[in-house]
Structure 1
């Protein structure tokens, strides 16, 4: 997404937000349904940045439907009372839960609207919504709360109601069904009213004439004919995929929905979180839902609740913003702790595989599993010159220095980069440091010991990186080089930066001119990435690397990730992989690109 596109998208969101703000809430007597309905809408009005475009569009559409159809608050109130009387699973055992404001809005939007329909020469009121999409992240309580709809259908639906919990696989379909089964067990502990199996719950013979049942189904539609579904709950539809133009999940859903034609008020509820299946059947469903919310498509029978970042927040530094987390999951602090998101994000920064999981399951962003290989080990190795020795240089050529220091006990890297105007080439030398204690248990210990024996890796005494050792090395190098600036990551290097600042000041120089915090954002890395790539891939190459296998290994660990604005930054695929040497090279490039000569 370009800056112009982002500006336009923000403008459109603001326009819809203003429409919602201009609605006179008093005219709709929301409190007669439930006070939480108004609380939810007022929360959106109070802070546009805390809610995504589609949440705002859903509220806007709610009032458009209120103006167009019959609103039956008692239907919503009865369901809320019923829901809050049920006992759901929880960390402290099964207990009753109050609906949150957003859940009240969701259930009210599904159950509260009615329209007049012609039937047998007369008009009757029928529920409007026939299809609901709840596209929410993991830990939203979507599956648990949706089970209440199936229990309601079993108890209060048609005399021969058929409620189905379905999913692509049996195990997932069982998640919702097991919750339903446990609720029914509490309602009928002696099993006098209902018969249950692992996949089926039905009424026993009774004086009410009830023949309703709930059943669990999974992918594979060929044996599912002869159904008469009144309620379908399809769990994790976003994981459905096409295999040779065939999707068992999609076929199951189609068979179930096509069986609902005889029902007066059938309902399909799709509850799902994003996945890595970017070309599955749900992607089209989601696109249609977005267009219905925006008014591009006209379908008043569809309700969609979409929780995800705004499109300009789906990559880069926005992923670490707690405000974006809450925008994706309004149940943070209720069904999931913010500290859990923080922990998962920190792990994701170190492991691209976990970043994919963080994006899909906690932020509800569809992503493919692939990442772009950037500079291969072979290419990095081809840039090496065994004759390049930074300690043999004379004449104090100008240089940039960059630090990437471990916050724990792992590898740290210090890069020295020079540029030859005569040869039009960069020359890069990287020193690597590791604490002695780390070698005892680290998964890469054997490899590290080999590098130490060959002089490629320096050992710091003790359990942590020795900052004074690095400061001494930099000051000694300054006797051979004219160090223009020293770049650092402000979040990880403060102690050593303070030591360097003191040493620089003692030599009569200005620390503020020499020490530079290098931004670690995608936007800041884009230019250095492009500069380095151009230098590495042109013929002849425009950069020379020191002959150090650690550097080649790290480039092989680095994969290029792009955000929606096409900003680029290297990431690592595995948790025990290291790319510190790559990062410091790019930080030095950043210093050159931003230095005022």
Structure 2
């Protein structure tokens, strides 16, 4: 057939070309997704490449979606869908790449991050209905999964309404529309919502995880994925906006997706596209809002989005949530202190082994024995500083169902899970003594809370000084300002430790009536202990180096004591 016989596949390819050429304004992640498609199209021409681009397969799923009808909106309800180029790209590329060996689909997972009001639910409904009725899978099981019944119906509800408003569709495929499910009697296929943690008996052909950022654990995702083993070409789709918890399973999946796009992780079965703004973009600029919203002027009106932009600019308390939902900027602190773009730019390709024998300063923040404990080492080279974290948590806390992020970081070696229900400080002691043999520790700074017995033992076994630093605003304000100035100027480096980066994103700036700063957090589960330990260590390093002069009420302990007694 002539190329024109596949208009939707052509639209998908055109979108990829226009994005890569700059004709369509898009963020880096969308450009990488489009470039990936174009590069693989070229590689598919070689005999050794295992996949081929099938225009007919890409066109078929898009043609199916274009025969569905809108179910909401005064000017849309009852009308057939008109797919935009970016939607053809998402659907067409996902279904259009096949394995050369057996003709089955290549992609088995989708991670699509799309801002609000861009038609996520409609896309999810079309995807679910296609896999349910038109994919040729006998006994297909399709699930719309979420943390609540209301959210699960955000995809299943439109899918059900699409059936009710499209009699020829349900007649052709023999679909029965129930109150809470769809099913086809002839081949035992079904489509239904799932809430919370599902059972292990399901055998999904397709699972749509809506708004994955709201999930505290990966239970639903993992159960659906592991249940797909008996299906020859299943699909697990995450279609979500950004969220406010970078410790959750959604952000972990996003991190994997970004690494696939960047080529640092190989996963030929994961298709991903993320609509957001780029690091360094001025979020107040209208162009940024155009970049992050692919359906602007179609399903979301420009005047509505301009009003949200104005609201975010004028009302500081609304900035994070509006940037999160309309620009897909992740944030988990209501008024975050650390600029995560700048923080991530401070990542350096270094390890502790690079600093053997060099002077260092240590900060220790001992939490209660059932909470996160942090030890941070800081090294100084010239006018630049390098920090490394070590974290500890009781094993029984790590293994709680809601702590999947701690389980992941333990498996990756970023967190030490000490046996039992209470943190065993002997692990920290052993690490500290080992560090004392490897590096020239000048001082150890610690918060006296929770620490007295441990510090007494440490003092008996080390030769360096151990300095109390109270975390009250009077003590910690100036070190915080120094910490801020260093990372903003790119002179405070870290090794990309995800646990420390998560804590950096959790820190909220608090201040007293006298404008003294101190670190806070929005929620108890948003830990900041590692950053507090880093600030304490940095205060001693800079003071020792003569870069921070003693400030009355900060480092001059005698004056603090005198003021307290006054």
Tell me whether the two structures share a fold, i.e. TM-score over 0.5: yes
Residues 165-196 of structure 1: per-residue CA shift (max 9 Å, x gap): 01122211111000111112123489874333
* Residues 379-418 of structure 1 aligned to structure 2 (within 5 Å): none
Inter-partner Cα distance in structure 2 for 1:358 and 1:219: 27
Deviations 1:57-93 (A, max 9, x none): 1111102332232121111222222211111223222
Q: Which residue of 2 aligns with 1:212?
A: 189
- Pairing partner for 2:35 from 56, 60, 64: 60
2:275 is aligned to 307
Shift of 1:259: 0.8
What is the match of residue 183 of structure 1?
A: 162
User: 2:80 and 2:194 mapped to 1: Cα distance?
Assistant: 27
Structure 2 equivalent of residue 7 of structure 1: none
What TM-score, normalized by structure 1, do the two folds share? 0.52
Superposition RMSD on alpha carbons, in Å?
3.3
- The equivalent position to 1:98 in structure 2, one of 66, 71, 82, is 82
One of 61, 68, 75 as aligned partner of 1:79 = 61
Equivalence for 1:288? 256
Match of 2:52 among 60, 70, 90: 70
Q: How does 1:238-317 map to 2 (within 5 A)?
A: 238-241=213-216, 247=217, 250-313=218-281
Change beyond 3 A, Cα 1:78–1:276: same
- Alpha-carbon shift at residue 530 of structure 1 (Å): 7.2
SS at match of 1:305: strand
Structure 2, unaligned runs of 5 or more = 45-50, 339-479, 486-511, 522-566
Q: Distance in 2 between the 1:43 and 1:170 partners?
A: 39
Cα contact 2:18–2:24 (8 A) shared by 1: no
Mapped pair 1:371 → 2:310: no
CA–CA separation in structure 2 for the residues paired with 1:43 and 1:301 = 25
Q: 1:373 Cα deviation (Å)?
A: 8.5
CA distance in 1, matches of 2:96, 2:301: 31
Displacement of 1:94 after TM fit? 2.3
- 1:555–1:197 distance in 2 versus 1, CA, 3 Å: farther
Please say if residues 30 and 38 of structure 1, whose CA atoms lie closer than 8 Å, have aligned partners that are also in contact.
no
Query: Would you say the 8 A contact 1:371–1:560 is kept in 2?
Result: no
Query: Where does residue 159 of structure 1 map in the other structure?
Result: 138
2:183 partner SS: strand
**Per-residue CA distance 1:552-591 (angstroms, 9 max, x = gap):** 98989xx999xxxxxxxxxxxxxxxxxxxxxxxxxxxxxx
Find the aligned partners of 2:17 and 2:6 in 1 and give their Cα distance: 12
Kept in 1: contact 2:6–2:55 (CA 8 A): no
Of 104-113 and 41-50, more deviation after overlay is shown by 41-50
1:50–1:324 CA contact under 8 A, matched in 2: no
What is the distance in 2 between the residues matched to 1:309 and 1:30? Answer: 35
Q: CA deviation at 1:39?
A: 3.2
Cα distance change of structure 1 residues 191 and 323 upon mapping to structure 2, 3 Å threshold: closer
Other structure's SS at 1:50 match: coil
Contact 2:9 2:56 in 1 (8 A): no
Helix, strand or coil for the counterpart of 1:90? coil
Corresponding residue number in structure 2 for 1:359: 323
> Within 2, Cα distance between the matches of 1:303 and 1:240?
21
State the secondary structure of the residue aligned to 1:127: coil
CA distance, structure 1, for counterparts of residue 234 and residue 337 of structure 2: 49
Structure label with greater radius of gyration? 1
Match runs of 1:422-433 below 5 Å: none
Aligned-pair CA distance for 1:164: 0.5
Counterpart CA distance in 2 for 1:190 and 1:128 is: 27
Residue correspondences, number: 339
Whether the aligned pair in 1 keeps the contact of 2:27 and 2:278 (CA below 8 Å) is yes
Q: Do 2:20 and 2:35's aligned partners in 1 also have CA atoms closer than 8 Å? A: no
> Deviations for 1:460-493, whole angstroms, at most 9, x for unmatched residues?
xxxxxxxxxxxxxxxxxxxxxxxxxxxxxxxxxx
Contact 1:72 1:114 (C-alpha < 8 Å) held by counterparts:
yes
Aligned-partner Cα distance in 1 for 2:189–2:54? 25
Q: 1:115 aligns with which of 85, 99, 102?
A: 99
- Does the aligned pair in 2 maintain the 1:31–1:38 contact within 8 Å? no
Q: Residue 54 of structure 1 contacts residue 305 of structure 1 at CA under 8 Å; is this kept in 2? A: yes
2:313 aligned to which of 313, 325, 349: 349
Equivalent residue for 1:202? 183
The CA distance in 2 between the partners of 1:37 and 1:160, in whole Å, is: 30
Which of 97, 104, 113 is residue 126 of structure 1 equivalent to? Answer: 104
Partner of 1:404: none
Q: Deviations over 1:402-442 (max 9, x none)?
A: xxxxxxxxxxxxxxxxxxxxxxxxxxxxxxxxxxxxxxxxx
Q: 1:323 deviation in Å?
A: 0.9
Deviations 1:190-213 (A, max 9, x none): 987433334321123xxxx31100
Quote how far apart the aligned CAs of 1:48 are. Answer: 7.3
- Contact 1:143–1:175 (CA under 8 A) maintained in structure 2: yes
**1:423-572 → structure 2 map (5 Å cutoff):** none
Give, in whole Å, the separation in 2 of the partners of 1:49 and 1:96: 25
Identify the range of structure 1 (34-43 vs 359-368) with the bigger mean alpha-carbon deviation: 34-43
Give distance in 1, aligned partners of 2:68 and 2:319.
Answer: 37
Paired position in structure 1 for 2:304: 340
Assess if the C-alpha contact under 8 Å between 1:195 and 1:202 holds in 2: yes
Q: Is the 8 A contact 2:8 2:62 kept in 1?
A: no
SS of equivalent to 1:125: coil
Instruction: Give the aligned partner of residue 474 of structure 1.
Output: none
